[in-house]
Amino acid sequence: MPQTLDAVAVRGWCALALDALGRDREAIDAINVYPVADGDTGTNLYLTMESAAQAVEAVFAAYPEPPVYDGIPPAADVVRAMAHGALIGARGNSGTILAQLLRGMAEVVAEGEGDLAAALRRAASAAYLAVAHPVEGTVLSVATAAAKSAENASGTPAAVAQAAYAGARDALDRTPSQLAALGRAGVVDAGGRGLVTVLGALVQALSGEAPVVRHEARVPVPVEDCPAEEAGAGPAFEVIYLLEADDAAVDRLRARLDGLGDSLVVVGGDGLWNVHVHVDDAGAAVEAGVEAGRPYRIRITHFEQPAVVEPPREQVQRAVVAVVPGEGLAGLCAEAGATTVLARPGEAPASGELVEAIRRAHAREVVLLPNDAELRHTAAAAVEQARSEGIRVALIPTRAAVQGIAALAVHAPERRFDEDVVAMTSAAGATRHAELAVAERQSWTMAGVCQAGDVLGLIDGDVVVIGHDLAGTARTVLDRMLAAGGELVTLVLAADAPPELAAQLESHVSKAHLAVDTVVYEGGHQGVPLFIGVE
C-alpha cells in the first residue's frame, strides 16, 4: 500500500471514503440535530465526497497510458481535482465544510510538501476561516483535534493518519459536552462523525488496514456547562449556490449574508466559491450573490416542508426507474414502461443521474432498481434526495439486470404501492444471477488462477468456473445454477457475442433440464458477453 499521500493514495482514499460514507450515511443522518435537525448530514457528506471521487477518476481516465506515461497523473493534479470536485458538489452545511477541509489539504499536497500533518493543519485552519461564526462541539473541533494529534505523531504517513483518526475520534466523543443540543439528544455531532469516517478511510488508504470503529451510544450527557443556545426556531430556508466572483466581492458578500441569517459558510478561492447560508429571505440571499458576481446551481430548501410544488395533473401515479448495462435492455425496459439509466462499462451512474431519472419519471411513487450491488450506496443517497423533494420512492436492492427484469415482469401499477414493491422484491430475490466475463490479466479467483483471455463464470458475483470457450463455460454455469432447481432461464447476450451462442444454450437447457423454459434478450453493448438469470 502507498505510504505517502500521492496520486494513487488520494484516489484510493476518495473511493474508500465514499464507500464508508455510504455505509454510515443513515446512521449519520439519524443523529443530525445541529445546526438544523433535518436528518441529511450523512447524505450531504456522501454526495459531496461522490463529486470529489468522480473528479479524481476523471483525471486518471484522461491521463495517458504507457508507453507515453505510466498512467498515473501528478499528485498535484489529483488533489486539485479532489478539492474542485468537492467544491462544486458540496451539499449542505456539512458538505460545504468538508469541501473546505479537502481544499486545505490539497493546497499543501499540491505545493509538494507531502507533510500530512501540515495538510491536516491547513485543512482545519481553512475550515474555521470559512465559517462565519465557528462553534465548538462541531466538525470544526474534530478537525482541529485531528490536526493536533497528527502534529504530535511521528513515523510514516500511515502512522500520522492513525494518530489523526484517534484524535478525531476522542474529540467526537467530547462533542455532547460542548454543545447543548447534542447533549440533550444524547448524540455526537453528525458532521464530526462524518469526518471521522473520512479520516478512517485515509488510514486504510495509507496502511491497508481499516481502523477499529467504536460506535457511540445514544446516551444523554450532562450539559450544565454548555453555552446557552439562541432562542427561536431559526431561519426558514437553506440557500446554496456556486459563485464566480473575486476575493473583494466575496468579502462584501460575507458581510451582507451574515446580516441576513446564520450558518454562513463560504468556501473556495481562485474565482470560484460555494456559498451556504440559512435565511428567512431566500431572495435576498440570491440577490446578494448577483451583486457579488455570477451565482449558479442555486438550491433553496425550506426546512419546514419539502421545497416542491403540488404535482401537476399529468403526473402519473407510479413509475419504475431501472439502471441497465446496455442499450438492448434499455429498450426492453422502456417498452415495459420503465425510465432507464444507462450504465456504460466502467462508468457507473452517479446519484445525481439517478435523482434526475426519478424526476424524469414524473410520478408520485417510484420504484428504483439499481441492478448492481456496487450501486447500493449511490442508489440509497438518490432515494433520500428524491424523498426530500416529496416523491415516494422504494429501493429494491437488485444486484443484477436479470433480477431487475424479473421485478419489472411482475410490476402492477394498479396494486397498492406496498403490495407492488413486495411482489417485485420477491421476484427479484427469487432470481439467481450469473455472468460470463473475459479475464484481462492473470489473477487469483475463488476458482483458482486465471490467465488473460480465460472465460470466467461468475455466480452471484463470485468466480466459480474458469474456462477457455464461451459456450462451454456457459453450459457449466447453467448446470450449476439449475442443479438447485429452476423454471425459467433468462439469457442476455451482448452485441458482440457469437451469433450461435443463444441457440446452443437453449438446446442445452431443453435437453439437460426438462420443463425449464428459456428466454433470450439482446443486450447490446453491455460490457460482458452474457448475463444469466434463473427463476
List the domain range (segments joined by +) for residue 167.
7-207
Asked if residue 59 is part of any domain, the answer here is: yes
Give yes or no: residues 363 and 444 share one domain: no
Shared-domain flag, residues 110 and 128:
yes
- pLDDT score, position 3: 47
Let me know whether 297 and 321 are in one domain: no
Same domain, 80 and 197: yes
Alpha carbon distance 295, 273 (integer Å) = 9
My answer on whether 383 and 521 are in the same domain is no
Please state the separation of Cα 261 from the chain's center in Å: 30
Burial class (CB in 10 A: 0-12, 13-18, 19+), 444: exposed
Task: Please tell me whether residue 481 adopts helix, strand or coil conformation.
Answer: helix
Task: Report yes or no: 454 and 439 within 8 Å, Cβ to Cβ.
Answer: yes
Strands 392-395 and 363-369: parallel
Q: Is 229 contained in some domain?
A: no
User: Tell me, what CATH number does 446's domain have?
Assistant: 3.30.1180.10
Which residue, among 332, 375, 330, has the nearest Cα to 350 in the 3D structure?
Answer: 375
Write the CB contacts of 512 (distance below 8 Å, at least 6 apart in sequence).
479, 482
User: Do 387 and 501 fall into the same domain?
Assistant: no
Distance CA 342, CA 27 (A): 30
Evaluate whether residue 307 is within a structural domain: no
361 assigned to some structural domain: yes
**Rounded Cα gap, residues 284 and 398, in angstroms:** 45
* b/e burial code for range 288-323 (CB count within 10 A of at least 16 → b): bbeebbebeeeeebeeeeebeeeeeeeeeebbbbbb
Q: Give 465's contacts (C-beta < 8 A, 6+ positions apart).
A: 447, 456, 457, 473, 476, 477, 480
440577490: which residue's cell? 287
Provide the 10 A C-beta neighbour count for residue 235: 21
Flag residues of the chain having pLDDT under 70: 1-4, 64-71, 113-114, 213-233, 304-315, 346
159, HSE (Cβ side, Cα atoms, 13 Å): 6
Number of H helices, E strands in the chain: 18, 16
Let me know: does 103 contact 126? Beta carbons within 8 Å.
Answer: yes
Residue 225 inside a domain? The answer is no
> Which H or E element spans position 437?
strand 432-438
Query: Is 118 among the domain residues?
Result: yes
- Shared-domain flag, residues 77 and 168: yes
Task: Note the pLDDT of residue 154.
Answer: 80
Identify the residue whose cell numbers are 417510484.
366
**Cα distances (angstroms) measured from residue 119 to each of 79, 103, 273:** 11, 10, 21
| Residue 436 grid cell | 460470463
CATH number at residue 254: 3.30.70.1710
Torsion angle of alpha carbons 417, 422, 426, 429, nearest 10°?
A: 90
Residues 43 and 22: their CA atoms lie apart, in Å, by 8
Starting at the earlier edge strand, list the strands of the sheet with 272-279: 261-269, 272-279, 237-244, 294-302
What is the grid cell recorded at 452?
488473460
How many separate domains does the chain show?
A: 4
Confirm whether 325 is domain-assigned: yes
Predicted structure pTM score: 0.67
Greatest Cα pair distance in the chain? 79
Asked whether residue 15 is assigned to any structural domain, the reply reads yes
Q: Are residues 349 and 420 in the same domain?
A: yes
Q: For residue 31, what is the domain's CATH number?
A: 1.25.40.340
Question: Crossing angle, helix 92-110 and helix 190-207, to 10 degrees?
Answer: 30
What are 211's three cell numbers? 481502523
Residues 6+ apart with CB under 8 A from 528: 325, 435, 436, 437, 438, 494
In degrees rounded to 5, what are phi and psi of residue 141?
A: -65, -40
Specify the pLDDT at position 141.
93
What's the CATH number where 369 sits? 3.40.50.510
